[in-house]
């Protein structure tokens, strides 16, 4: 009969190095790696499960920051708690990390600023994933809010990465932050056109639009009497989801309706007065007489001043 040879597992008890916490063997290292690996796998599985469970209950912009915070917090806590397995003191490690953090903080202030700003953005939530915003002259959709940066997709389809510090410290215009939004036209008509009829036609078009809100009510009025035309202001409130479509569609309908009813957009007009040569001659003679009279007055002025001095 053959002999069964078992592998020697005594090497797991061999001492690799000694610390203040005791002797460290290969078994301790295997435990450290195994616990850390299991924690990573467990955290990812838990994150995926919670993402699916909260999909219909919590919006993506709220759920994603919470899941990221839960994932990284779990890894950090477990990592620090198993440091004694490899002979490292967590308190000393944290102290060294604090000193290193200060040094790195001075060396990378922008990165730290982006990190802190990212945390504030996640908790304050001035913008959300999917919002249409304008940040520092860049307009588009917010696709993701990360710890260091915010990703935006412009209306041209470009992917733009903006540092969180820049997002947090600059003015943010949230285009869809309010459920309704107002838009405005300025329609020009001729002075010869009937302004009352134009206003009635525009109001009738607005009443036919189902997405033009009644509260706040739309307003159509004469706002200015310009040099060559009359300005009619049109102000309408609409749901933010239908705002752009209603604005473009209604403007075209106003133009067609006014033209069909004989109301046209005027062109700038200037009135020129042309004088003939005969009309200019009397004016030239009159100017010559004025210049001669002015010269005589200037000649008599020193004499008058002399007489005044003599009398005094």
pLDDT in tens, 61-83: 667 777 777 888 888 888 888 87
pLDDT in tens, 159-184: 998 888 888 888 888 888 888 999 99
Residues of the chain with CATH 2.30.30.60: 123-174
Residues of the chain with CATH 1.10.287: 12-107
The CATH fold assigned to 180-260 is Alpha-Beta Plaits (3.30.70)
Average pLDDT over residues 83-102: 66
We find that the CATH architecture of domain 123-174 is Roll (2.30)
What's this model's pTM, rounded to 2 decimal places? 0.53
| CATH 1.10.405 for the 12-107 domain, yes or no | no
3-state secondary structure the chain: CCCCCCCCCHHHHCCCEEECCEEECHHHHHHHHHHHHHHHHHHHHHHHHHHHHCCCCCCHHHHHHHHHHHHHHHHHHHHHHCHHHHCCCHHHHHHHHHHHHHHHHHHCHHHHHHHHHHHHHHHHCCCCCCCEEEECCEEEEEEEECCCEEEEEECCCCEEEEEHHHHHHCCEEECCCCCEEEEEEEEEECCCCCHHHHHHHHHHHHHCCCCCCCCCCCEEEEEEECCCCEEEEEEEEEECCCHHHHHHHHHHHHHHHHHHCCCCCCCCCCCCCCCCHHHHHHHHHHHHHHHHHHHHHHHHHHHHHHHHHHHC
Residues of the chain with CATH 3.30.70.100: 180-260
């Amino acid at each position: 009969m053959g002999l069964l040879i078992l592998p020697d597992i005594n090497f797991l008890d061999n001492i690799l190095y000694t610390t203040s916490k005791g002797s460290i063997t290969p078994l301790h290292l295997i435990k450290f790696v195994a616990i850390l690996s299991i924690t990573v796998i467990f955290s990812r599985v838990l994150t995926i499960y919670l993402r699916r469970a909260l999909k219909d209950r919590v919006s993506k912009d709220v759920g994603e920051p919470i899941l990221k915070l839960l994932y990284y917090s779990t890894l950090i806590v477990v990592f620090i708690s198993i440091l004694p397995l490899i002979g490292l003191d967590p308190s000393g490690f944290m102290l060294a990390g604090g000193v290193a953090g200060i040094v790195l903080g001075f060396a990378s202030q922008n990165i730290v600023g982006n990190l802190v700003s990212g945390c504030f953005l996640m908790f304050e939530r001035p913008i959300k994933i999917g919002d249409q915003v304008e940040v520092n002259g860049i307009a588009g959709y917010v696709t993701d809010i990360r710890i260091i940066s915010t990703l935006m997709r412009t209306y041209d389809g470009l992917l733009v990465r903006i540092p969180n510090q820049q997002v947090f410290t600059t003015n943010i215009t949230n285009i869809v932050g309010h459920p309704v939004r107002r838009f405005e036209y300025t329609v020009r008509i001729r002075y010869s056109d009937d302004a009352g009829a134009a206003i009635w036609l525009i109001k009738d078009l607005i009443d036919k639009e189902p997405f033009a809100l009644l509260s706040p009510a739309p307003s159509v009025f004469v706002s200015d009497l310009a040099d060559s035309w009359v300005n009619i202001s049109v102000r309408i409130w609409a749901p933010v989801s239908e705002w752009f479509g209603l604005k473009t569609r209604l403007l075209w309908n106003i133009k067609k309706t006014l033209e069909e009813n004989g109301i046209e957009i005027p062109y700038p007009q200037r009135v020129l007065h042309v004088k003939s040569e005969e009309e200019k001659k009397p004016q030239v003679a009159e100017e010559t007489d004025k210049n001669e009279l002015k010269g005589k007055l200037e000649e008599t002025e020193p004499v008058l001043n002399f007489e005044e001095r003599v009398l005094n």
